């Protein structure tokens, strides 16, 4: 584990960014990145700096080196996350896993705004998409680390992460993982998202403890 | 992923982490340099105690724009919404409710909207939304896809198109626009593609059963309607062939308001449907027996002398003389060799002479046509006895005494009599009907009879009276923009040229001129009946051609009638399909007997491309699926109906989601690729259908008006369309966009609008067909009257020269239950059929409504799963027991996707959908095929089925 709070936040920021990156559509460069082992090595590096326990079950992490042959990973990504009758099997949008979608999307956007961010990019992704949410976690953790380094109050960032995890990725990633198992998702995605789930749980539990909510 | 990015992402505890944002960006530009870890001080952040802090901001947004839904909600269409945008996303919508009151004596149109439209933002963003172009990588329908770039997709599709244009000819490329038609950029995109490449557009009207064959036969047109607020002038509203509480949600309040004013509302339906429960009177009628009911009412009206003789004499062909022996009108050609076949006669009671009917006016002057009597005439063929159609009708109606009809209809005799008297005595009666009867095998007769009842009672042309045909009104400037040659700014002279030398012939009315233009345009073969395409080339002939299997009274086989219709040019032969673009349609959900298309149609296609925003059943079986932009993600103009006579704008509230594109842009990019690839391959020539050589060298330049319009900004098209529009009060695109809608000020120069045959005044409700009733302008039929006697050969052969009841054949086999359907309350066609919010209001999956007694007899309980089947197929569904359903009837409302059923088979696998040859008739002035009219229809109402209990519904 990194020995300072700033170091921990930095490692978490890196881990969330890598998880976000692992969940983009797999183009040729992406598959090379996976096959060269860069993704898994970076991810395990970050996770071990967060908590070595998050790296356990090293067998399943090996799946993050396997980009399949030919178009396999693209086809699997499309099957799981992109398209299908009634929508894809395992959509990557939090608002589709409970609550009223539009309210979930709106609240996520208001989180972003509160912390000085706005949705952008071409094409723009929606506020409750997994990669947007993870990018936000990456940002908050980054700012937390920065604040700690500079001796500025990092409390708002920490409380932001606490509530954002609880109300957004932490509320639906576990269900997504169950669905992935049900539809026998390719090991790459099953391992990535189970790993993410473990990080979110770890992080959430820690943040709740360290930043208890005043009743 | 680039090498630099890979390096950037590499995690090293020592090197630290860089800030890397893609979907998010820092709002304050002064902080933008903080991205990438520049070492700047962290930006100040507002205190954050908990997520509840965010709710202080809940009612804020970045902007509000106007939007509507470019969906085929037809009769109820036209609702302007305020669309709230936050952070480049639509957050919600609200009915704008700013429509004006036509005048102070009628209720206003507010608030317009339905629950589907009110939840469109949720639908637009739901999980089924397609994000990027997909290419099939497995077998068709296997569900294996991979994302491709637009360029890759377009270039490959363009190569296929070029090959097909050169090898099979342009007409083998079909476009199915389904209900996705607009009156703006999407339409221009399609029109220009089709015209420049000479391709084929599917005319789906008779396939879906919206073709109103009875209106076409009687009135010579199908497109006419009054405004919904005109109902306030009615004192009798007959809901007969529709269910406006489900399908005209924004208009239904006018019915209730008319009722508060004293109108009586009568629902004539087999089931006590959602409209029936709000009526004053429910007249139950057995499924498929509406013609018998109507004829029984005519019997009462005529026998009790309740008919409006002045109206009948002036507006209908009922006084026209007919030879009862030959069952043919007396014509000019009966008196002299080479005499006119469209000169008709009546017996004038004033002069006691036979007189030729006026071809130019309905005004009778001093004449008083006889409705009864027998008259001797000397003809080229000798002395003959002729009689008015009315006299034949009276004899014909003798078969429909209420006592006899009640046996067929199940409607109490007393009720039949009282209904007939009510209609005859009403100050202003109106029939609210929709496209229901077109979906019966004998639907043509049902509609004819409705017109007959109302014509006998003179219930047309008065405020609050009439029968609605197919409602439509649109701006008249869009089509000319679609067909204009480049460069764009020269529209003025082009419009002059477009109409130059065109106009009514000497004895033609304006309506007739436009209808003739439509027929002439149709002859070019760009529009092909989808029902005929699927019959001839789609593997549906064992269904559509099997009419005699269910209707043994039919003298000849369907194929024989069809061959005759093709040979005589009454129907157009569909070219062999090679490429099919589904762009707004969904044939594998929509077409009755769709399951046959898998074997009969898809294997014939070299390429099938679907443009959609979700993975429809058709998309699932396509080679490419191209994601379409949502309705709040595009600038466009949406056509209207006289029911709510406001043309609507939908504006680009946000950028198209993910990789989706507007229809305009998709056409644009396709044409760009076709030109690029043709030039690159040095294969620029092809022969059009007429055998003339065409070039692809500049085809995209022509499409884009030589660069005048860009891919992502169709506003110049919309501005130009409104600039030359003559029937929207001179409204500009900017004004339309700002307000969201504009009321039509006239019918303009448009073949689709003109048949409303009425003037539109700013402060008056709209009443259809007043040009005929008030201005005495003739109707666009052979006899130039509302025509109830048809002496075309198929009509004579099938004994349908006068409106008649024929029993609905046992289509599907000898089974006890009759399956009907209808448009659903919870979706507009397939657009919301699998939308979670709407499914939550129902049973969450396809459902069939069944009468209590029928369910009990089969041991079926509410919510149980059953198998429904007949000789053609079967499907599984859960049952909802309803006291509202007619015994012997089961109802499956329409537009479920097959993939929503267990086994992926929908109720449409049981529909026999045989053509009725009467609808192939032609060669008779107003019985001629043109777009939306005069083609054989597909049908499903009253399909015979049996139901078997399966047990508990599936979990989940
Ligand atoms: S779907 Fe049609 S009827 Fe419903 S709100 Fe939209 S425009 Fe109006």
CATH class of the region B213-471+771-797:
alpha beta
Q: Is the CB of B77 under 6 A from ligand 1?
A: yes
Burial of B123 (0-12, 13-18, 19+ CB in 10 A): buried
Distances in whole angstroms, Cα of residue B2 to Cα of each of A38, A75, A77:
13, 21, 20
Local structure of B183: helix, strand or coil = coil
Burial of B658 (0-12, 13-18, 19+ CB in 10 A): middle
Contact state of B86 with A106 under an 8 Å Cβ cutoff: yes
All residues of chain A having their beta carbon less than 8 Å from the beta carbon of residue B129 are: 87
Tokens 């409303």 -> residue: B756
Residue A204 has pLDDT above 90, yes or no: yes
A211 touches B at CB < 8 Å: no
Q: CB count, 10 Å around CB of A59?
A: 9
Residue A129 has pLDDT above 50, yes or no: yes
CB contacts under 8 A, A 134-193 vs B, are: 135-136, 138-139, 142-143, 145-147, 150, 152, 155-157, 159-160, 163-164, 167
Q: How far apart are CA A118 and CA A126, in angstroms?
A: 11
Contact state of A126 with B125 under an 8 Å Cβ cutoff: yes
A24: closest chain B residue by CA: B1
A91 touches B at CB < 8 Å: yes
Reported ipTM: the value is 0.94
Q: How far apart are CA B22 and CA B30, in angstroms?
A: 18
Q: Is the CB of B114 under 6 A from ligand 1?
A: yes
For chain B, which ranges sit under pLDDT 70? 1, 3, 13-15, 28-44, 487-501, 952-956
Contact state of B147 with A78 under an 8 Å Cβ cutoff: yes
Give the containing element (helix H, strand E) for B819.
strand B817-820
Provide the shortest C-alpha distance from residue A116 to chain B (in Å).
6
Query: For B841-871, what is each residue's pLDDT tens digit?
Result: 999 999 999 999 999 999 999 999 999 999 9
Strands (DSSP E) contained in B651-805 are 685-687, 693-695, 741-743
Q: How far apart are CA B861 and CA B880, in angstroms?
A: 8
A34: closest chain B residue by CA: B6
Distance B183 CA to ligand 1 centre (A): 16
CATH dotted code for A7-210? 1.10.3480.10
CATH class of the region B817-949:
mainly beta
Q: What are phi and psi of B703, to 5 degrees?
A: -60, -45
Distance B118 CA to ligand 1 centre (A): 8
The confidence score (pLDDT) of residue A182 equals 97
Q: Which of B74, B95, B117, B838 to mutate to test the pocket of ligand 1 (most atoms within 8 A of CB)?
A: B117
Give CA angle at B347 (B345, B352), nearest 5°.
140
Q: Is the CB of B638 under 6 A from ligand 1?
A: no
Contact state of B92 with A11 under an 8 Å Cβ cutoff: no
pLDDT more than 70, % of chain A: 94
A99: closest chain B residue by CA: B837
All residues of chain B having their beta carbon less than 8 Å from the beta carbon of residue A117 are: 21, 24-27
Local structure of B818: helix, strand or coil = strand
Q: Which two tokens stand for residue B8?
A: 């950037």
Sign of torsion over alpha carbons B331, B332, B337, B340: negative
Q: Give strand pairing partners of B377.
A: B384
CB contacts under 8 A, A 96-135 vs B, are: 96, 100-102, 105-107, 109-127, 129, 131-132, 135
Domain boundaries, chain B: 213-471+771-797, 817-949
Using the atom order of ligand 1, give the atom closest to the CA of residue B112: 8
Contact state of A83 with B13 under an 8 Å Cβ cutoff: no
Q: CB count, 10 Å around CB of B859?
A: 9
Q: Is the CB of B644 under 6 A from ligand 1?
A: no
Q: Give strand pairing partners of B944.
A: B818
Beta strand pairing call for B200-203 and B527-529: parallel
Q: How far apart are CA B815 and CA B832, in angstroms?
A: 32
Q: Which of B66, B71, B73 to mutate to test the pocket of ligand 1 (most atoms within 8 A of CB)?
A: B73
HSE-up of A55 (CA within 13 Å, CB side)? 15
SS (H, E, C) B343-359: CEEEEECCCCEEEECCC
The confidence score (pLDDT) of residue B956 equals 41
The confidence score (pLDDT) of residue B59 equals 81
**B36 or A66, higher pLDDT:** A66
If you count residue pairs, one on A and one on B, with CB atoms under 8 Å apart, how many are there?
Answer: 234
Closest in B2, B49, B137 to A71, CB measured: B137
Asked if B377 and B323 count as a contact pair (C-beta separation under 8 A), the reply is no
CB contacts under 8 A, B 568-627 vs A, are: 614-615, 617, 620, 625
């Amino acid at each position: 584990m990194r020995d300072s709070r700033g170091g921990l936040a930095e490692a978490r920021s890196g881990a969330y960014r890598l998880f976000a990156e692992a969940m983009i559509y797999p183009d040729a460069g992406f598959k090379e990145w996976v096959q060269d082992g860069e993704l898994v090595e970076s991810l395990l590096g970050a996770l071990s700096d967060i908590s070595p326990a998050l790296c356990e079950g090293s067998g399943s992490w090996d799946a993050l080196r396997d980009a399949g042959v030919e178009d396999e990973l693209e086809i699997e990504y499309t099957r799981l996350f992109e398209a299908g009758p009634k929508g894809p099997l395992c959509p990557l949008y939090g608002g589709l896993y409970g609550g009223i979608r539009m309210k979930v999307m709106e609240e996520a956007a208001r989180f972003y705004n509160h912390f000085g961010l706005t949705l952008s990019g071409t094409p723009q992704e929606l506020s409750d998409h997994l990669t947007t949410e993870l990018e936000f976690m990456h940002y908050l953790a980054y700012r937390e680390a920065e604040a700690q380094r500079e001796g500025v109050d990092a409390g708002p960032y920490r409380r932001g992460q606490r509530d954002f995890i609880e109300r957004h990725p932490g509320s639906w990633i576990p269900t997504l993982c169950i669905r992935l198992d049900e539809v026998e998702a390719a090991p790459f995605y099953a391992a990535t998202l189970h790993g993410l789930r473990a990080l979110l749980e770890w992080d959430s539990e820690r943040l709740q403890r360290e930043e208890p909510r005043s009743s | 992923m680039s090498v630099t990015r890979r390096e950037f992402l590499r995690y090293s505890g020592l090197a630290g982490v860089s800030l890397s944002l893609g979907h998010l960006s820092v709002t304050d530009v002064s902080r933008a340099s903080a991205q990438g870890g520049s070492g700047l001080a962290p930006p100040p952040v507002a205190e954050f105690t908990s997520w509840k802090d965010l709710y202080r901001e809940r009612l804020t947004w970045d902007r509000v724009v106007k939007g509507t839904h470019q969906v085929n909600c037809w009769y109820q269409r036209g609702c302007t919404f305020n669309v709230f945008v936050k952070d480049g996303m639509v957050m919600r919508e609200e009915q704008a409710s700013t429509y004006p009151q036509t005048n102070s004596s009628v209720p206003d149109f507010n608030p317009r909207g339905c629950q589907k439209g009110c939840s469109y933002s949720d639908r637009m963003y739901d999980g089924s939304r397609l994000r990027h172009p997909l290419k099939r990588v497995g077998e068709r329908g296997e569900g294996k896809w991979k994302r491709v770039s637009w360029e890759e997709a377009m270039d490959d599709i363009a190569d296929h198109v070029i090959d097909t244009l050169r090898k099979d000819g342009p007409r083998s490329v079909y476009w199915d626009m389904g209900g996705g038609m607009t009156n703006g950029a999407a339409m221009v995109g399609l029109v220009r593609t089709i015209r420049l490449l000479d391709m084929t557009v599917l005319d789906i009207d008779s396939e879906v059963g919206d073709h109103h064959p009875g209106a076409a036969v009687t009135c010579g047109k199908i497109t006419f309607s009054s405004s919904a607020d005109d109902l306030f002038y009615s004192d009798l509203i007959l809901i007969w062939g529709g269910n406006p509480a489900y399908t005209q949600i924004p208009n239904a309040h006018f019915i209730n308001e008319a009722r508060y004013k004293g109108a009586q509302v009568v629902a004539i339906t087999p089931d006590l449907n959602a409209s029936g429960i709000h009526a004053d009177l429910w007249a139950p009628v057995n499924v498929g027996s509406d013609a018998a009911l109507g004829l029984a009412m005519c019997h009462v009206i005529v026998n009790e002398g309740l008919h409006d003789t002045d109206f009948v004499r002036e507006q209908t062909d009922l006084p026209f003389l007919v030879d009862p022996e030959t069952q043919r009108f007396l014509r000019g050609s009966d008196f002299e060799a080479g005499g006119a076949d469209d000169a008709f006669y009546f017996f004038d009671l004033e002069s006691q002479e036979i007189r030729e009917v006026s071809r130019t006016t309905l005004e009778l002057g001093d004449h008083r046509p006889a409705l009864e009597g027998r008259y001797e005439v000397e003809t080229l063929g000798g002395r003959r006895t002729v009689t008015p159609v009315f006299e034949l009708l009276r004899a014909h109606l003798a078969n429909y005494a209420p006592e006899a009809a009640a046996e067929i209809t199940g409607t109490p005799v007393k009720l039949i009599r009282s209904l007939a008297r009510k209609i005859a005595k009403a100050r202003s009666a109106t029939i609210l009907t929709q496209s229901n009867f077109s979906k019966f095998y004998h639907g043509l007769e049902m509609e004819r009879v409705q017109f007959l009842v109302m014509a006998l009672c003179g219930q047309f042309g008065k405020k609050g009276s009439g029968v609605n045909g197919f409602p439509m009104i649109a701006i008249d400037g869009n089509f000319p923009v679609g067909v204009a040659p480049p460069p764009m700014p020269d529209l003025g002279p082009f419009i002059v040229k477009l109409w130059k030398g065109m106009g009514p012939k000497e004895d033609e009315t304006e309506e007739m001129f436009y209808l003739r233009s439509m027929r002439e345009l149709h002859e070019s073969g760009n529009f092909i009946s989808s029902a005929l395409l699927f019959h001839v080339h789609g593997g549906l002939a064992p269904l559509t051609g099997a009419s005699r299997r269910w209707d043994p009274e039919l003298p000849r086989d369907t194929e024989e009638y069809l061959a005759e219709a093709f040979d005589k040019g009454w129907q157009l032969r569909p070219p062999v399909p090679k490429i099919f673009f589904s762009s707004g349609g969904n044939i594998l959900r929509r077409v009755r007997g769709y399951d046959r298309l898998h074997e009969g149609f898809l294997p014939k296609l070299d390429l099938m491309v679907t443009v959609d925003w979700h993975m429809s059943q058709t998309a699932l079986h396509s080679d490419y699926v191209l994601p379409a932009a949502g309705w709040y993600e595009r600038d466009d103009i949406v056509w209207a109906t006289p029911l709510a006579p406001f043309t609507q704008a939908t504006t680009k509230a946000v950028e198209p989601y993910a990789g989706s594109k507007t229809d305009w842009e998709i056409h644009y990019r396709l044409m760009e690729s076709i030109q690029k690839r043709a030039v690159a391959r040095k294969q620029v020539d092809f022969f059009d259908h007429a055998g003339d050589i065409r070039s692809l060298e500049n085809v995209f330049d022509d499409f884009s008006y030589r660069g005048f319009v860009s891919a992502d900004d169709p506003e110049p098209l919309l501005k130009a369309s409104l600039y030359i529009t003559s029937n929207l009060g001179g409204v500009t695109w900017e004004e339309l966009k700002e307000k969201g809608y504009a009321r039509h000020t006239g019918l303009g120069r448009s073949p689709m609008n003109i048949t409303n045959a009425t003037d539109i005044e700013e402060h008056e409700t709209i009443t259809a067909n007043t040009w005929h009733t008030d201005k005495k302008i003739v109707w666009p039929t052979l006899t130039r009257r509302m025509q109830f006697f048809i002496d075309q050969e198929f009509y004579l052969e099938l004994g349908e020269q006068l409106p008649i009841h024929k029993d609905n054949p046992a289509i599907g086999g000898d089974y006890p239950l009759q399956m009907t359907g209808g448009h659903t309350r919870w979706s507009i066609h397939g657009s919301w059929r699998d939308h979670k919010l709407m499914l939550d209001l129902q049973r969450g999956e396809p459902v069939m409504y069944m009468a209590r007694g029928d369910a009990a007899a089969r041991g079926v309980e509410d919510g149980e799963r059953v198998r429904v089947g007949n000789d053609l197929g079967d499907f599984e569904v859960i049952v909802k027991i309803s006291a509202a359903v007619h015994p012997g009837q089961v109802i499956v409302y329409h537009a479920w996707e097959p993939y929503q059923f267990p086994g992926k088979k929908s109720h449409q696998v049981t529909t026999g959908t045989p053509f009725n040859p009467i609808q192939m008739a032609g060669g008779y002035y107003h019985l001629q095929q043109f777009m939306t009219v005069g083609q054989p229809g597909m049908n499903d109402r009253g399909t015979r089925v049996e139901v078997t209990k399966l047990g508990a519904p599936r979990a989940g």
